[in-house]
Amino acid sequence: MIETFTLKHFRCFKNTSISPLSRINLIMGRNNSGKTAFLEGVFLHLGGTNPELPININIFRGIVKLVPNAHEVWGWLFHDKLTTEPIHLISYDVNGDKRELVVTLEPLRSSEIAKENEALDKPQHEFVSTISASNQQLSLVFRDPNGSEYRVGARFSKKQIIFSRDNKAEIPFSTSIFMATHIRNHVEDTERYSRLEQSGLHGPIIETMKQIEPKLKRFVVSISTGIPALHADLGGTKLIPLSYMGEGVKRLLSIALALPICQNGTLLIDEIENGIHHSNLITVFRAIHSLAEKFNVQLLATTHSWDCIHAVHEVYEKTNVYDFRLFEFEKGTGGADDFTVKAYNQDMIKSSLNRKTIL
């Protein structure tokens, strides 16, 4: 698990460190205080050998149309869009091992320009434009605790993005998942449930969901409108498509399915309380705690909810180890570098909740 994470020259962060991280971590702060950007930085770092992630985090923010201009597509990854300074995303785990991802936007080498039509990987994003291709490439260099380097990159040709990977570039982390605020993929949830069912690991998912829908007997993958989809058996005569169930049920199921898939890895969730009624939050976080422990997952999530913070605190007050940490992000008025992070331990959280001074 990550214990300390540092972001240098990434998004709104000039040079910021967050520590000590625990198993369950909530990030709070006012709007536009860097909460989502922090999750994006961790996500890029954890997938440091995947050159497609910088595009994916733009999609999470609703940016789906691309122009073949590297500075426009990737420039806002850099602090104040100053692409002359490299991004450094650095983690130290509980054993003190260091991992670092360095991201640069650099001129395209002439040898790469000559190979414009020789995609190193099958292109994932295509477009047609009268604009000429950019002469810059995004470079990602990941260094593991042993000093090994993994180099990957992305560049534009005239009609597509070409991703390049070092032959030895294997992901040196366990699976990690980013759950964006308003994006839920029914197909992914169906695939994840099928994988867990085939592995005999779906039992904890059913038990988790019964805590907010006691009538649930099982989930079934069935064809709906020509597409495999999850259906719930609530003991009636008909299976109910998950799409017709409440947002809280769908949100918790997405989280519950992601946790086993992230075994020994990290789950990142933007606005974790979305769709979940405040009266169910303690039940939900009790289930998240159980699954995170069972599958050894570290959770980092943002929140705007006092009830959410209170619920997590209540759950961990009753556990043997208070494995919860709260962080408050705050932007000052002194410019881009005026940024503070406050870490709350158990006593500070309890005191602040009693006085209702958080948020």
pLDDT digits (tens, 9 = 90+) for 89-142: 999 999 999 999 999 998 876 555 545 444 444 444 444 333 344 678 999 999
One-letter amino acid at 177 equals I
Q: For 51, which DSSP code?
A: T
Mapped onto helix, strand or coil, the DSSP state of residue 120 is: coil
Domain count for the chain, please give it.
1
pLDDT (mean) for 309-315: 96
pLDDT (mean) for 287-309: 96
Kindly state whether residue 65 falls inside one of the protein's structural domains.
no
- Is residue 144 within 8 Å of 172, Cβ to Cβ? yes
Mean pLDDT score of the chain: 87
How much is the pLDDT for 121? 45
How much is the pLDDT for 357? 65
Residue 288, number of CB atoms within 10 A of its CB: 24
CATH number of the structural domain spanning residue 270: 3.40.50.300
Q: Model confidence over 246-259: pLDDT tens digits?
A: 888 999 999 999 99
Kindly state whether residue 305 falls inside one of the protein's structural domains.
yes
Kindly state whether residue 171 falls inside one of the protein's structural domains.
no
- Is residue 2 within 8 Å of 36, Cβ to Cβ? no
Tokens of 234: 């609530």
Residue bearing the bigger pLDDT, 79 or 117? 79
How much is the pLDDT for 247? 87
Kindly state whether residue 108 falls inside one of the protein's structural domains.
no
Kindly state whether residue 30 falls inside one of the protein's structural domains.
no
Per the listing, tokens 């999530």 go with: 301
How much is the pLDDT for 120? 40
Q: What is the pTM of this model?
A: 0.90
How much is the pLDDT for 175? 87
Q: How far is CA 111 from CA 52, 84, 107, 116, 135, in A?
A: 22, 22, 11, 9, 12
Residues forming a β-bridge with 78:
10
Kindly state whether residue 257 falls inside one of the protein's structural domains.
yes
Kindly state whether residue 238 falls inside one of the protein's structural domains.
yes
Please determine, for residue 314, whether its predicted confidence score (pLDDT) is greater than 80: yes
pLDDT (mean) for 270-278: 93
Please determine, for residue 169, whether its predicted confidence score (pLDDT) is greater than 60: no
Q: Model confidence over 16-29: pLDDT tens digits?
A: 999 999 999 999 99
Question: Lowest-pLDDT range, 58-67, 192-201, 223-232, 347-356?
Answer: 58-67
Tokens of 132: 């000429």
Q: List for the chain the helix, strand, coil content (%; round to 5).
A: 30, 30, 40
Q: How would residue 226 be classed by pLDDT, with cut points 50, 70 and 90?
A: confident
How much is the pLDDT for 197? 95
Q: What is the span of the domain harbouring residue 190?
A: 176-355
Kindly state whether residue 223 falls inside one of the protein's structural domains.
yes
